[in-house]
Amino acid sequence: MKLLAISDTYIPPDFMSEGLAELQNIGIDVEVRHWEHKSLINLQQDNLAIETGGPDAVQLPDEITRNLEPYDIVVVQFAPISKSFIEKTKNLKLIGTLRSGAENIDVDFATQRNISVINTPGRNARAVAECTMGLILSEIRNIARSHASLKNKKWRRSFPNSNAIPELCGKTVGLVGYGAVGHLMAGYLDAFGSNIIAYDPYYKGDPAPAQLVPLETLMKTSDVISIHARLTDQNHHMIGEPEISMMKPTAILVNTARSGLVDEKALIKALQAKSITGAALDVFDEEPLPANHPFIKLENVTITPHLAGSTIDSFRNNPKLMAVQIKSCLSNSADIPVINNIRPSLNVG
């Protein structure tokens, strides 16, 4: 059985090879091909184009797509697996993505070809959750603004929220999306003594320490709103002008998930009008953020360049997590994160 792994700037060839190495021991021949980019920014630009335009938005070079017929398994992170890529395969039975979403894979065509598509849910959940906590604290406690001022030799003690700088203890934090990241956030916030509520229409089970509430309730009652949902066609701009208008004037909005979940123009309008206190954002409709973008000019926003999920631990562990999933496929485990309802049919001969 042959596996083709496509590495990238975030998960380089050595990380990919090391993470999938244990599959060699059970008879799977692993080959790694590298999708080259000049910089992380170039990769992020391609990734954003794929997320908005689908797997056909960016073409892989010929050295990546040559001689695909022998491979039974393809493993990728950001590389696009389009219809034309799949058409070049002959034995392909499984596509594994080292992320929770599958925007870079033509899942519909894979399904037509009876190819299973699996993901790695929660693969960078801890990285995102830890960064989100940092952004929340940075925004409400003015950490980034203070740092920038001191670097400019200014001893600054006056900020947009100076009259009402809060503590997280006793405050209500609303989590929009209660998957792997949301659960980690709930644990961290519980340690801070926050009152935790969450909105997730797909969640089943005991949500403790959070309480599940309707989105309208969350928007109206939260002091901090943090978004952790997956972006789909159905929830695009789920936080729009009507929802933002429900927020407390003292509340802040935090987004480390996908920019498309929030109506960026409506958020900018609210921040400019100071109808909400602030925001902390790691994702944007246009990346890199243009030099003249309103977010750069606003005083009541903390911004970072799409780095919430980028930790060395996350990138090293992702291929290892996929190796575990593939071994589960070989043992016909029931607990496999299949996203297109086609059970993997693998057999090492």
Domain map (residue ranges) of the chain: 2-123+310-330, 125-303
Q: Which CATH superfamily is domain 125-303 in?
A: NAD(P)-binding Rossmann-like Domain (3.40.50.720)
Burial class (CB in 10 A: 0-12, 13-18, 19+), 242: exposed
Phi-psi region of 275 (alpha: psi -120 to 50; beta: other; left: phi over 0): alpha
Rounded to 10°, the helix 125-140/180-192 angle is 40
Q: What is the mean pLDDT of the chain?
A: 94
Cα separation, 52 vs 40, whole angstroms = 18
pLDDT on residue 59: 95
238-275: pLDDT as tens digits: 999 999 999 999 999 999 999 999 999 999 999 999 99
What is the pLDDT, as a whole number, of residue 315? 85
Instruction: List the catalytic residues.
Output: 258, 287, 306
Using pLDDT thresholds of 50, 70 and 90, give the confidence band for residue 123: confident
Kindly state the percentage of the chain with pLDDT values over 90: 85
pLDDT on residue 233 = 85
Fold of 2-123+310-330: Rossmann fold (3.40.50)
pLDDT at 297 > cutoff 70: yes
Using CA atoms, how far apart are residues 292 and 236, in angstroms rounded to an integer?
Answer: 25
How do beta strands 211-212 and 224-227 pair?
A: unpaired
HSE-CB for 203 with a 13 A CA cutoff: 24
| Residue 109: φ, ψ to 5° | -70, -35
Q: Is the pLDDT of residue 72 over 80?
A: yes
Q: Can you read off the two tokens belonging to residue 246?
A: 């429900």
The answer to whether 2-123+310-330 and 125-303 have equal CATH topology is yes
Sheet containing 73-76, strands listed edge to edge, beginning at the edge strand earlier in sequence: 29-34, 2-7, 73-76, 94-97, 116-118
Buried b (16+ CB within 10 A) or exposed e, 1-17: bebbbbbbbbbeeebbb
pLDDT tops 70 at residue 321: yes
Q: What percent of the chain has pLDDT over 70?
A: 100
**Average of per-residue pLDDT across 16-20:** 96
**Are 117 and 140 a contacting pair, CB within 8 Å?**
no
Q: What is the DSSP string of 97-150?
A: ESSS--TTB-HHHHHHTT-EEE--TTTTHHHHHHHHHHHHHHHHTTHHHHHHHH
Mean pLDDT of 121-136: 93
Q: Residues 267-289: what's their mean pLDDT? A: 96
Which neighbouring-strand residues pair with 116? 94
Indicate whether 349 pLDDT > 70: no
Tens-digit pLDDT profile for residues 226-243: 999 988 889 999 999 999
The confidence score (pLDDT) of residue 335 equals: 83
- CA–chain centroid gap for 307, Å, is 10
Residue 121's pLDDT is: 82
Distance in angstroms (rounded) separating the CA atoms of residues 271 and 198: 23
Q: What is the pLDDT of residues 35-70, one digit of tens each?
A: 999 998 899 899 989 988 999 999 999 999 999 999
Say how far apart CA 188 and CA 129 lie, in whole Å.
9
Angle at the Cα of 44 from the Cα atoms of 42 and 47, rounded to 5 degrees = 115
Contact present, 301 and 274 (Cβ < 8 Å): no
3-state secondary structure 51-89: HHHCCCCCCCCHHHHCCCCCCCEEEECCCCECHHHHHCC
User: Pairing relation of β-strands 224-227 and 252-255?
Assistant: parallel
